[in-house]
Homo-oligomer: A and B are copies of this chain.
Amino acid sequence: MKKIINATPQAFEIDTDHTALWVIDVQPDFFERGGFADVGQGLDVRWLQPILPGIRELVELARSSGIRVIFTREAYRPDLRDVPEPWLRAPEHSRIGSQGRDNNGKWRFLIDGERGTELIIQTKPEDIIIRKASKDAFVRPFIENRRTDLRKKLSQLGLRQFLFTGATSGVCGSSTISRSSDEGFESGIIKDLMADYDHGIHAAAMKNAGGRDQKWPWISACLTTADAVKRALAARS
């Protein structure tokens, strides 16, 4: 079904049959105390948490509107074989695979099967769940433990358009949104449902991906809001 979402620099016309709501890396290692961001990197997780209620609500709405939901989670093999080698030279306390020093639940950072890489939002069997051993989800994605050509897979599923939410705006967000454009997909970024520990990086990432105040979105993404998506999906078309 066609829906027109109010957006800048221009409205984003989606076809719900070919659109997915993409939830990037909503996992304890990025959103909760005791995990990779908080303990390993010293980042302030308070600034990610305000987006969770809105994402949950939109996930429900997408499902009831016939829009597929994609969840990515950054998670590496316990033997670290799919971690790029230079990343393993990080200082011990901030390295993938190191262990949180906190009381509220110990887990190895960003490791598949550990609590830090579980999804915070309840998934459904029809959702597309991607483990990725990379920032950009297209670089080393796995579906059901099998390495996948993500561009091809998403195309085969009939997807052509994405609505992005999640974290962090500057790293996994920016790289995946930009890559989606390079791969020929169109995107809307739900800017009040994305977040980053660094406020300046969040603001710039939204502006950069969303067209930079130009007449046309340079990297094929529009900027929209949760309210605009809700209004569009509620409208009869």
Chain A residues at the B interface, C-beta cutoff of 8 Å: 41-44, 46-47, 49-50, 84-87, 90-91, 94, 134-136, 139-140, 170-171, 174-175, 178-179, 181-186, 192, 196-205, 207-208, 212, 214-216, 218-220
Q: How far is the CA of A5 from the CA of B201 in the complex (A)?
A: 26
Chain copies in complex: 4
Question: Which residues of the other chain, B, contact A208 by a CB distance below 8 angstroms?
Answer: 170-171, 174, 198, 201, 204-205
- Interfacial chain B residues near A181, Cβ < 8 Å: 84, 86-87, 135
CB nearest to A151 among chain B residues = B139
Known contacts A42-B214, A201-B207; is-contact A183 B139 (Cβ 8 Å): yes
Task: Determine whether the beta carbon of B215 is less than 8 Å from that of A207.
Answer: no
Q: How far is the CB of A5 from chain B (nearest CB, A)?
A: 15
Whether B175 contacts A84 by the Cβ 8 Å rule is no
| CB contact under 8 A between A212 and B198, given known A86-B220, A178-B135, A181-B135 | yes
Which B residues are in CB contact (< 8 Å) with A85?
184
In the assembled complex, how far is the CB of residue A158 from the closest CB belonging to chain B, in whole angstroms? 16
Q: Is the CB of A44 within 8 A of B214?
A: no
Which of B134, B183, B204 meets A84, CB within 8 Å? B183
Cα A220 to Cα B86 in complex, Å, equals 7
Q: Which residues of B contact A215 (CB under 8 A)?
A: 41-42, 91, 94
Decide: A178 and B184 in contact? CB cutoff 8 A: no
Closest residue of B by beta carbon distance from A204: B204
- Report the Cα distance A199→B167, complex, angstroms: 15
Please give, as numbers and ranges, the residues of chain B lying within 8 Å of A170 by CB-CB distance: 204, 208, 212
Known: A41-B218, A84-B182, A196-B199. 9 other contacts (CB 8 A): A84-B181, A86-B185, A87-B181, A94-B215, A135-B182, A170-B204, A199-B203, A200-B200, A205-B208
